[in-house]
């Protein structure tokens, strides 16, 4: 039996504009990002979406402030997974590296 596994990278994989094409072109992805952004703003008083998709930031610029990078990575990964599931792609297992541990969780029975 074939099973899909969604392997998600951790800290160090982030860059400005990651997921920008999805954010601009996929309504579902944008809606999920905006929803998570509202929740994160309550905690850190900044918009990760505004930081991540700032038009003055280039992919090649260093994006290293952990306060912003950790939620940005999680948000993009989570919203990508939700967008894939909305498209009918079943992702029964997610593996995510989260320093200093690796987390695994099931998204579907």
| Order of strands across the sheet that contains 5-8 | 5-8, 93-98, 101-106
* Of 6 and 47, the one with more pLDDT: 47
Express each pLDDT in 50-88 by its tens digit: 999 998 888 777 777 888 888 898 888 888 888 988 988
Nearest-Å Rg of the Cα atoms of the chain is 14
Q: Where are the domains of the chain?
A: 5-106
Do the beta carbons of residue 68 and residue 51 sit within 8 Å? yes
Q: What pLDDT, on the 0 to 100 scale, is given for residue 103?
A: 44
In angstroms, rounded to a whole number, what is the distance separating the alpha carbons of residues 22 and 101? 28
Whole-model pTM over 0.75: yes
Express each pLDDT in 4-39 by its tens digit: 666 666 666 676 888 999 999 999 999 999 999 999
In angstroms, rounded to a whole number, what is the distance separating the alpha carbons of residues 59 and 42? 26
Architecture of domain 5-106: 3-Layer(aba) Sandwich (3.40)
């Amino acid at each position: 039996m074939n099973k899909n596994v969604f392997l998600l990278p951790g800290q160090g994989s982030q860059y400005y504009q990651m997921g920008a094409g999805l954010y601009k072109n996929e309504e579902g992805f944008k809606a999920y990002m905006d929803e998570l952004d509202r929740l994160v703003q309550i905690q850190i008083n900044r918009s990760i979406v505004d930081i991540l998709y700032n038009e003055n930031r280039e992919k090649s610029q260093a994006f290293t402030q952990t306060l912003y990078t950790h939620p940005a990575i999680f948000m993009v990964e989570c919203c990508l997974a939700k967008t894939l599931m909305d498209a009918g792609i079943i992702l029964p297992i997610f593996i995510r590296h989260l320093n200093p541990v690796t987390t695994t969780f099931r998204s579907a029975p």
